[in-house]
Structure 1
Amino acid sequence: MAEQPRRSKQKEQKRGTAKKKKRMTPRKWFFALFFTAVFAVVCGIIGYLFITLNGERILTEQADKLVLGEASIIYDVNGKEVTKLYDASANRENAEFDEMPKLLLDAFVATEDQRFYEHSGIDFFSIGRAVVKDVIARSKVEGASTITQQLAKNIFLTADKTFFRKATEASIAVALENKYSKQEILTLYLNRIPFGKGIYGIKGAADYYFDKDLKDLKLWQIATLAGMPKAPNRYNPINDPESSMARRAVILKLMYDQKLITQQEMEEAKAVVYEPPANLEEKKSDPYKAYIDYVIEEAVKVIPNMTEEELRIGGYRIYTSLNPTAQQAVEKEFADDDNFEKSTDDQKAQGAMIIMDHRDGTIQAMAGGRDYVRKGLNRVEVKRQPGSAFKPIVSYGPALETGDYYPWTVINQEQQKCFGDYCPRDPHGAGAVSMQQAIKESRNLAAVWMLNEVGINNGIAFAKKLGIELAPEDRNLAIALGGLTNGVTPLQMAEAYSVFANGGKSVDPHTITKIENTSNKKVFTYRAPQAKQLMKPETAWYMTQMMQTVLESGGTGTGARIDRPVAGKTGTSQHGIPGFNSSANRDAWFVGYSPEWTAAVWMGYDITDKQHVIKKSSSQAAAMFGKVMKQAMKNVKKSSFQQPSGIKQEVKEQTAVTNFNAVFLADQAKVQLSWTAPEDSKGVTYRVYRKDSSESEFSVFVDAITTSVDDMSVFPGMTYQYYVVAYNAEEDKESKASESITIEVPETEVDIPEQPMEPDTPDDGELPEIPNDGTNGEVTPTPPVDPNQPVETETPPGDGGTDSPGPGNDNGNNGNGNGSVDPGQGADGPVESTDPGTGDGTVTGKGTTDKNDAGSAGGKA
């Protein structure tokens, strides 16, 4: 039992010894603190090196991010800005440091980073102050990021708030401060930060919210902009004017506290009420979408190896031929629902229009459709069936080019209404018609007959010269009426008609005149290709004269008239819906030109079915042309179509006599001849030609000044033939001969009336007195007319078909077999109508041809 107390005492002694060992002496404290400090310094140095080196590494690897993407700008023909090619992350226009007023720079520094010019990327003083305030408020009430850190976050980092991300932000900020000056950092910052409404950068914000250049900003505007980066969508003056105004007051107080402005300036700037600029809607509306999309497509093509994204954010200045007056006229009329047929549902009747100056190929204006959206379906580049608008390109143009046909050439297709098994019908029926009248009334048979005469191969080759290459399946007569396999675009039609308008010379459609980069260096300048003479100037002139009649009374395009000369052609295509019996159409066109500009208008539905067809035909397309062009060209100097040298004028024939009649009067032993004078009988005499049964040729029997004459020199048993021509001595023209009439004089003896005998001497026995006129009483006979004198006539080129007019409506029904068509009726005249047939070497109807047209056909080439 004695041992136990002894053990307890020993344990207590050991515990006391242990306590003494744990006690820190001053010396130990010194060394502990020393090594802790050393460790901290080493960690700090390592941390600093890590931050610095990591920031330098990131900055080096991602240096391209420092090159700010800048929105490229598109300018109109007057050099005025139209729009910026904003990208989702680059809706900006960069400003140089020298462009920024000092007060603007001071406002942002006062608001975002008051010690900006003193720290090296990280402001430890501000961090400490922020920590103290946060501790006192027991929540985060103040940020400590410098402008440099905000720039680093904006350029290189995501928006997460992890410790590692904040450390990386700090490291990049230090690297930025080591590499760039304060001016450069501030410039980068102000060009990159967001200002709401998708706007990035101070220059774009000043323009959008105030319609001002940076140098023209007032104090209240500067303070408004300086307050926005903290919460761009909340503090922009459009979204929330009250919050913006309150935030502006805070910024002005900060500027006043830092003695940047006076109290009076602060109070005056606080009181201003924001009013949006007058042109804000234009800035918001993203104007002229179809034209801008076309410009972008063209720019990517003309700058080698350029992507659209690179183009948009490359800061390029793209100068175009966009004519604001013309474009606004197009936009206005395409926004008017009354210019389009009403649909039965939500699918709207659509349209497209392009206007170009054929003198230099510049595209003035464009509509890609109604309610066009950016990067949408640009119907100017969509192929449709051209209908009768294709007749000048493939039938009449090639015919005029041969030099064998003229506008006044008479096409007589009375004997030919079918071409193989292809029998296009038209409401005018068959008959003689001039080529000019055929195109005015849009006759089908005439166009098909003409293509058959010049040859399908020649028609296709002529179209190719005008920029339209047809498919192999198009080698048939249906192309005369616009029945194509693939169709054509409004742009192609405008280009083709521009050649007629340009005296037969090629035209190169384009929108861009030049492109400059951010260094004002030209990276592209448009140079027109050498113009080619694609057709004779005479051909272009004659076609222009012919198509001017289309707008005259009785023509199919009267609605396209404006206050200057215009030539053009309408066109429609059949709906082509199987089992649908209707005269409605799939496509309606008008393509025309003045001496200065060419335009093509198309109307129809994107998807054609029984509920979505055009009922008003080409009249509405012609009306759209007239409405737009009248406004679009109001500032364009008027001119006239220039006639080239060597143009032949129509030689008008002397009108022939009518109702020629000849009858033998037995009781008087004479043949009595009579006729009706022509309408243009002024100064006209008549030549009666006669040939008896013993003669081989006709000769002039008598010249007469009246419309009747007697032949008393006939003999029994003889046969006589007569015809009459009208003769204009002043112009030395004979008309065509009347019909020939044959008279047989009977063999029976003819009683010749006994003539009283004049006595040899008078009753008074005196001789008759001889006149003293040197004739000795003899009568001088009329000198005979030379029977070999030529008769001027014009032989018609042959037979053919007819084609239909229709100033308002080019309607008809598609068909099969022999190609019959039921014509429709237009708004102000007959209609264009045709139909494809089927048969060997003729037509297979596609249902995509003009109302005057057929589907696909084969025939004489």
Structure 2
Amino acid sequence: MSRDDTSRTNHNRDRGSSSSKSKPKSKPKKKKKFLTKKRVLWSLFFATALAIFCALGGYLFIMLNGQKLLLENQDKLTVNETTKVYDRNANLIGELSLEKSDPVEYEEIPPLLVNAFVATEDKRFFEHSGVDLWSIGRAAVKDIAARSMVEGGSTITQQLAKNIFLTRDKTFFRKATEVSIAVALENQKSKEEIITMYLNRINFGGTIYGIKAASVRYFGKSDLSQLKVWEIATLAAMPKGPSRYNPLRNPDLSKERRAVVLQLMYEQGYITEQERDEAKAVDYNYKPPEKKQRYQAFIDFAVDEAEEKFGLSEDDLNIGGYKIYTTMDKHAQETVEDAFADSDNFEKSVDEELVQGSMTIVNQENGSIVALLGGRNYEKKGYSRVTGSRRSPGSAFKPIVSYAPALETGKFTMNSTLSNEKQCFANYCPTNLHGYSKSINMSDAIQKSENIPAVWLLNEIGVNTGFKFAKKLGIGLEDEDKNLSLALGGMSKGTNTLEMAQAYSAFANGGELREAYSIKSISDSSGETVYKANTTPERVMSKETAYQMTEMMQKVVESGTGRKARIDRPVAGKTGTTQSGYSGISSNRDVWFVGYTPEWTAAVWMGYDKPSKKHLLKNSSPLAAAFWGKVMEEALKDVPKKSFPQLDNEIAPEPTETPETAQTVTGLSAAYDPSTMTVNLNWEAVPVAGVEYRIYRRETSEAEFGSLLNTVTTSAGDFSALPGLVYEYYVTSYDPALKVESEPSNVVSVSVQDEMPTPEPTIDPNLPTPTPEDGGNNGENGNGGNNGGGNEGGGNDGGTTIPEITPPPPTPMPIPTPEPTIGGEGSGGESGNVSTNPDPETGFVNGDSSTQ
């Protein structure tokens, strides 16, 4: 190529490049705006129109619906028949009939009484028109935050509307209806009429309705003008929780809530500072006239359980037409009530303040409460010491916190040698009453109720080990209770007969604990079952530990400190005595006996409600043991006798070859008894010592069998079977030596009859009262001082069965960890006692740990 051609080519390339650079660029497309002014205006228009439409619709609903409902319901108080309560055999034992007085007029209500309720329940009552929008807004925020209906935000008018409409569900529809009736009320009634209707209709605890009925019940005053400031505040405190703040049942909680009401009254200018302080300080001590009714204590306990566990309010239960089927045994409850009514069973008081008591009986096989009573002269919805009073259990706590957890560690047996020398543990120096020795057998230590071995043992296993074990058995302990005085019952708050009976039931039930309960099932007004008891057990200790504790505590009753509790069947148990806590005074504050037979477990406590130097017991724990024996002998009269399982005294040799299965149970049969609402199961015994039987059940709508209960006898009762259902059962045997469970037995099917026994139409007030028997002589009472104590003396005992079907393959069962086989027995004697040095200022012993 010539130079001219090359130059031309380069020139053309440059022109092309220049041409391409001079080509104009295209402009980018503009994005359309989504939020234009026009669209925003139209959106606001439609939103406003929709809001106006909804507001008009809501207003029409509120006005029209409220007027209609008010006209339909304004004269109603209840829409169902009364709630009825039945015993374990479906016999009627009581009804929650309403207690009302004549309504009062506005002029009869003192202005301060009106102001107290306004200050507490609705401080803007005289300003709003039935609905307080500010309160509703605040409640809505709390509901949204909690993701549930937790805050009511109701005015007094709305509360009245709710009582008229009689719907208890916390739903939006119920709330909207409540608002509509409230607005209608405000349109038709004056504020004075509304507050008067409110005070005449609301619940004041239990079956008490209306301000006048409440004034009569809690203060004995039918003239409201006679009420004092503290009494007015006490009544105004109740609507927030009629049962919780009932002054008869919970005087301390009532006083706390009263203080809140008084503060609100003061802040809003209704009372002076002096009036507030004086009213806060008053202690409630009014005792209403006695109205004795059979089974009232058990009925009250069951109603409380329905409230606490199932979310039913007192108002729901009073007017809801429910049927509550309890676990109460009629004969046992009557026996307990008769024993409490006999003053000869209690130590004579020095004045009008009675020596009080509490007793709880539990069926350890299923956890059902058989009978209970929380005091002498118990009043309806009155103070119950079954749960309301917490006292130091003394030596009755040793099995729970020292001996059983020590056995559980595997390092001790009931034949282990424990230290019994006089000694101190850090700054804690317990003492024995009957002297000391270098060592003592564990069984003998329990039998004699010696203190040093129990404290030494807790120190060996660690306080935290005993603390956790007691908590696992259901004892309500506090972190401050983690100290060695716990071995002797030294607790910051104490315990009660319900907790102690439940805890000991685990010893009686082979190491399995079932939470104590009083309600088998509840049916609503339509007959639908809304609750049934769940008796799932929890293993809290090994079977070997439970058996060893039973062996040792049987000797306590046979020849130890619990001899007064002996009856005509096997008994195991432990006494407990707590000393006065006053320097130089050897009398006692509390006496206990907690024990069990192969059938039932029971706890008894006796003492003054408010111990003082003047109000102390001269007797010790044999008094409680004698009471226990007298009651249980009669209560168990018609209950078939069983025996405690026995342990072999020698360690079983390890098998050279472990078989795949244990011996299969044969001869299983079942029948439903409609009179007791129980499926009774029986089978042939397996010829193996110490065998445990495991019962499995399946309701036909369920896919698999589930564990029902374990027992060492050849019979059992299913108390939780419900009418109208079909159940299948099979039984296996568990060999503790081989650690193997057998194949299932034959399966039996039982159809539970749908028809219930016809309940008694009324309560028979003329039930025969058994003649109380002589409780026996009191035990000896010892002497003591700063480091001494009283003696636990042991005075003289003055469905249709369907043919067998092939069982399904059993669900593989876990093989438990081998436990040591224990043998040997101990001998017994009298008990010991301890008291730490009293506080020089108060005279009380630290931790209240003086025990027997």
- The TM-score normalised by the length of structure 2 is 0.49
- The TM-score normalised by the length of structure 1 is 0.49
Q: Which has the larger radius of gyration?
A: 1
